[in-house]
Structure 1
Amino acid sequence: MIELPYLNVETPFPPVSTALSDPNGLLAYGATLDAPRLFNAYSNGIFPWFSDDEPILWWSPDPRAIIELDDFHLSRSLKKLANRRQYTVTLNQSFDEVIEACASIPRMNPHSDAPTTETWIVDDMITAYKRLHQAGIAHSVEVWDAQNNLAGGLYGVAIGEIFCGESMFHLQPNTSKLAMYALVTHMKKHQLAFIDCQLPTEHLASLGAKTLPRSTFIERLRKHNDTLDEDGRITAEYRYRWQGGNITP
C-alpha cells in the first residue's frame, strides 16, 4: 500500500528527498494545476503526471535525465534535413495547437508498468499549460512545412535558464527532432543551461540525454533559476530569451 502526502490548495510541497523510489519519484497528490502551483513545482524540480482516473500526482524522480546543450547528438540525417530548409521552425507561435497535437498521440506512460497507450495529457493538463503559457512560463516550438501546416513540435516549461521538456510530436518524419535541434540552437544563442527531460528513455538517449542524481539536478536548477525579479515579476531578460520568432537552425 502506497502512502502519500495529500496537498490541499495551501499545502506546500514536501521535500523532494521524501519521494518514493517505487514508483520512482512519486512525491504527493492533490492540490490544483493553477499557474502559481505549477511554477512553484517546476522551480523545485517537481512536475505533475496523472491519468484521467487518478488524482493529480506530483513527481520528482531520481535520477533525472537532462540534455547538456553541447552534448546534443546531431545526426547526419538531421543535419541534412535542417540544411535543406524545407521546414520553418518558430517559437511560441502556436502553443495551443502544439499541446493539442501532443495530446492526440497516444504513448506509453513510463511511470506505469501496465501496458497502455492512453495519452497522459488529459484535458485538465491542456487547460493548465495553456494558462501557464499565457503567464509567459510555458513555451512551444513549432515546425511548419512549405504549405504552412504544422508538421511537428514540442512544448515545455522554462524555469530561468532551464527548459523542462514536457512532450513532442511529429506528423512528418524527424520533425520533432528538428524542433529539439532548433531549441538547442536557440538556447545556446542565449547562453541558457540545459534541457530537463525528466525520465531517461532510449529515444532521449539517442539525442544525447544523460542522467544526474536528483540532488545534483536540484542544485543546478537553483543555480540557473532566474525567472523572476525581486517583485515576483518575470524579468526582462527572461522575456527576451523566450520571446517568439523564427528559430530555424
Structure 2
Amino acid sequence: MTQRSLDQFFKNPRTWKEDLVAVGGDFSVERLLYAYKRGIFPWSEDPIRWYCLDPRAIFDLQRVHFSKTVLRKVRQGKFRITFNEAFPIVMQACSYREKDNTWITPGFIEGYLELHRMGWAHSVEVWNAENILVGGVYGVAIGKFFAGESMFSFESDAGKVGLYHLFEKLRQSGFALFDTQQLNHVTWQLGAYEIPKHSYLDRLERALGDSNPWIIPPSLD
C-alpha cells in the first residue's frame, strides 16, 4: 500500500466539506495510521466508513473534571491499575452492549490488536480486589496525540478511574491533544468540548511531532 494510493482513497479533510471521507478499505496498520494522522477514524464495518467530524470533541488534559466520588476511589486505591496487560480483553469488554449493537466488531478488534502489537494502541485496565477486570479504556497514541476510542465499566466508576490514570500518564508524557471524536453525556460531564474541524486539524498537526509510538512511563509510586 503506497502513500499515493492512500492519498487517492481518502478525501482530504482540509478541503472536503462532508464528515464522511471514505468508504471501504481495510483495518491494516498502514491505513489506520495514515487516517489518524489526518484526523480520520473508522466508525463502522461492512463496509468500513471513515469520518472526520466537524465539529470535533476533545479534552483539555489540564481541565478534566472528575466527580468527588471518582477522586475518592482514586485516593483510596480501590482498584489496581495496569497498562497494556490485557488489551484484547479490554477491547472485547468495550464491544459489549446489553441492549444495542456496538461499532466494535471483529474487524475492528483484529485491526487494533495489530496496532497494539506494533506499539500504537494502548489500554488501561482496572482490577478489583478479587483481581477481576471491571473497567478499562483503550485508544491510539501517535507522537503527543491520543485518540480515545472506548471505555467500559462493570463496577461503578471503574472506567472513569481508568480514564483518570490515563490522563495522568498522558500529562506526565507531555501529550498535547486528546481526541474523543464526539460529545456524549459522559465525556461532556468530564469536561470535553467541541472545536471546529480545521482548528482540530491544526492542533493535530502540532501534536503529532515526530510521530513516534508512546513509551508509557513507569509508575512513580
Quick check: TM above 0.5? yes
Shift of 1:105: 2.4
Shift of 1:146: 1.4
Contact 1:89–1:247 at 8 Å: present in 2 too? no
**Alpha-carbon distance between aligned partners in 2 of 1:59 and 1:202, rounded to the nearest angstrom:** 21
Q: Which runs of 5+ in 1 are unaligned?
A: 1-7, 108-116, 229-233
CA 1:207–1:72: 2 relative to 1, 3 Å = same
Report the AA paired with residue 165 of structure 2: A
Shift of 1:106: 5.1
Contact 1:19–1:59 at 8 Å: present in 2 too? no
CA 1:184–1:193: 2 relative to 1, 3 Å = same
Aligned counterpart, 2:36: 42
Residue 208 (structure 1) aligned with residue 205 (structure 2) = no
Aligned counterpart, 1:112: none
Number of residue pairs aligned between Structure 1 and Structure 2? 217
Shift of 1:12: 3.8
Contact 2:53–2:181 at 8 Å: present in 1 too? yes
**TM-score, with structure 2 as normaliser:** 0.91
Contact 1:161–1:224 at 8 Å: present in 2 too? yes
Contact 1:164–1:197 at 8 Å: present in 2 too? yes
Aligned counterpart, 2:173: 190
Aligned counterpart, 2:143: 160
Q: Deviations over 1:142-161 (max 9, x none)?
A: 11111211110011111211
Shift of 1:9: 7.1
Shift of 1:74: 2.0
Q: Identity of counterpart residues, as a percentage?
A: 34
Contact 1:72–1:207 at 8 Å: present in 2 too? yes
Q: Please give the residue correspondences for 1:19-168 in structure 2 after superposition, counting only pairs within 5 Å.
A: 19-20=17-18, 25-51=19-45, 54-105=46-97, 117-168=100-151
Contact 1:62–1:213 at 8 Å: present in 2 too? yes
Contact 2:64–2:190 at 8 Å: present in 1 too? yes
Contact 1:132–1:138 at 8 Å: present in 2 too? yes
CA 1:82–1:198: 2 relative to 1, 3 Å = same
CA 1:188–1:239: 2 relative to 1, 3 Å = closer
Shift of 1:10: 7.7
**Alpha-carbon distance between aligned partners in 2 of 1:136 and 1:101, rounded to the nearest angstrom:** 21
Matched residue SS, 2:200? helix
**Alpha-carbon distance between aligned partners in 1 of 2:202 and 2:29, rounded to the nearest angstrom:** 23
Residue 18 (structure 1) aligned with residue 16 (structure 2) = yes
Q: Superposition RMSD on alpha carbons, in Å?
A: 2.1
**Alpha-carbon distance between aligned partners in 2 of 1:64 and 1:187, rounded to the nearest angstrom:** 20
Q: Deviations over 1:180-201 (max 9, x none)?
A: 1111111111111131000111
Q: Which runs of 4+ in 1 moved over 3 A?
A: 8-12, 245-248
Matched residue SS, 2:122? strand
Contact 2:9–2:22 at 8 Å: present in 1 too? no
Contact 2:81–2:125 at 8 Å: present in 1 too? yes
